[in-house]
Structure 1
Amino acid sequence: MPRARLIFLLLSLCAFGAAAEPRPASLRLCTEDMDAPPWRSQNGPSLSLQMLKSAAQRSNIKLEIREMAWVRCLNEVQNNQLDGVFEISFKPERLRIGVYPMKGDAADPAMRMHLDSYSLYRLKGSPLEWDGQSLSHLEGAVGAQTGFSVIAQLQALGAQVDDSSRNPEQNLNKLLARRIGALALPTLTGDSLLAGNPAYRDRIEKVGPDLVAKPYYLIFSHRFADGHPKLTRQFWEAIAQTRDTPEYRKALQDALRQLNR
């Protein structure tokens, strides 16, 4: 065989090998094992699961979802024991955990799963105030769920944070018992719990503007993203496509309407 033809054949084989990405048997994701309506709920809409199932169908891959403590979920993805974690906000230090859909130095909001916010809750009659810039008249620590990103923001505001519980209802009960002076919760979760429980609704109220609003993402483990770059990008794009479908938008509107009843 002529040398030039042999070199061309070898280059062609190399190019083919580089283009052929191995296909995993399934995509193994984790999330927190606590309700966060309307994204995850045992007794209502679970829009994140609906979105991921649609994205998996678009990407032609089997989906496995495991629910566990949030900190454990993050650790298992960081240690490449699972392929990804969903409903995680962006913080630069979380880049060591996994791979975000990036745009420049930050995650690309066009590839988000959804938007959500954190709000501050206080006992009715409490002097606590939040004006969007600073906390005043705070008596005691602010409660937050273990491992949640809002903890750093609260600490930056000068608040002492009690993050010993990962259960939002346990934290609401701490507030009722005056073991904490305020509570930071994802807004939809907090509003839903207050609306559904008179014991909370009659004594607890939301205060001031949102603490923060941010997009939430699916991120992949470093091993998965390195081994399956095309599938990684394809799945993020499938999430964005699903989010913009009329069917998903209607499901979101219906779920939000149900939460606000």
Structure 2
Amino acid sequence: MRRFLIPVLVASCLLVQGRVQAAPNDSITLCFERQEVPPWRTLDGGGLNFELLAEVSRRTGVSFDYQSMPWKRCLEQLKANQVGGAFAVSFTRERMGLGAYPGVAAGGANPQADAAKRMHVDRYVLVRRRGSRLEWDGKSFRHLDGRIGVQLGYSVGDFLRAQNIAIDEGSQRADELAQKLIAGRLAGAAMGGGDASRLLRGHYGSRLEVLPVALIEKPYFLVLSSALVASQPQLAARLWDAVEQVRTGAAYRKRELQALAGSAPGARD
């Protein structure tokens, strides 16, 4: 597993004042997907997610130890309380058993995570081969002849299954989906906006294209383990409060706008 600590310099560049004190030896292990997802994160600790968490660490006095791993394994370790948390995780009712989301009360009739305490918002888009007739108008598919590829463990699979769409979950990486799509083994691929942007900026751009209407847009959260929240509920609340404070601060908002503008290719979205 890849382990690293984000340099203090990243946090200091945000120029956000204020700090909530914590015990000096508070440390939490967080897992994340072993994949580049610009502009949110890179495997070597770059990207907006790590900048946000670095400032959360500075404000709360809690240090984070990051572990990259396949996404499904990360979620399994979160559920087993083998890590203190995971990011960035979208909310579904089915995932409530994995750990604790901010604002979700146990036993609620219609639970929803508190979007105000999200790390970021991203979208899933539909990618097709250039020349394909496959279409998505925001409500339904047309000219769908085959399966839609989805990365293993990704929540967009639940979205597609709810529409009775046949899916292929046999890939862990967006690049694998792109290769299957080009080879004609998939009718389309549902990818995160950052993944699609990265692929189309590369050599896949001449053979694949992103449909203009997003499949779904959703917030992504820092999800903490059930054991951590049960034993230290006040610490969990401080962390989620700090995520909101940093994300809505002027310095971070400026960084986010700059990074999103830099990662958007041409006429995407």
Q: What is the TM-score when the length of structure 2 is the normalising length?
A: 0.84
The one-character-per-residue Cα deviations of 1:81-109 (angstroms, maximum 9, x if unpaired) are: 11001100111121111011125621000
2:197 to 191, 194, 203: 191
Deviation at 1:42, TM superposition (A): 4.4
Shift of residue 182, structure 1, vs aligned partner: 0.1
1:210 is paired with a residue whose SS is coil
Matches of 1:149 and 1:129, distance apart in 2: 21
Could you say if the C-alpha distance between residues 44 and 218 of structure 1 is closer, same or farther in structure 2, counting changes exceeding 3 Å? closer
TM-score by structure 1 length?
0.87
Question: Mapping of 1:11-26 within 5 angstroms?
Answer: 25-26=26-27
1:14-93 to structure 2, matched below 5 A, reads 25-42=26-43, 45-93=46-94
Say whether the 8 Å CA contact 2:86–2:224 is kept in structure 1: yes
How far 1:58 moved relative to its partner?
Answer: 0.6
Other structure's SS at 1:163 match? strand
Q: Kindly tell me the number of residue pairs found equivalent between the two proteins.
A: 239
> How far, CA to CA, are the matches of 2:250 and 2:50 in structure 1?
17
1:111 corresponding residue in structure 2 = 117
Match of 1:158 among 156, 161, 164: 164
Cα RMSD between the aligned structures? Answer: 1.8
Q: 1:44 to 1:222 in 2, by over 3 A?
A: closer
Partner of 1:238: 242
- Identity percentage of aligned residues: 36
State the distance in 2 between where 1:41 and 1:86 align.
13
Matched letter for residue 93 of structure 2: P
Inter-CA distance 43–76: structure 2 relative to 1 (3 Å threshold): closer
The one-letter code sitting in structure 2 at the alignment partner of 1:49 is F
Which residue number corresponds to residue 203 of structure 1? 207
The separation in 1 between residues aligned to 2:23 and 2:259, in whole angstroms, is: 38
Residues 105-156 of structure 1 show CA distances to partners (whole Å, capped at 9, x for unaligned) of 2100000000011000111111111111111111211111100000011122
Structure showing greater radius of gyration is 1
Quote the Cα distance in structure 2 between the aligned partners of 1:67 and 1:43. 10
Alpha-carbon separation, structure 1, partners of 2:146 and 2:91: 28
Give 3-state SS (helix, strand or coil) of 2:213's partner: strand
Alpha-carbon contact 1:38-1:44 (below 8 Å) kept: no
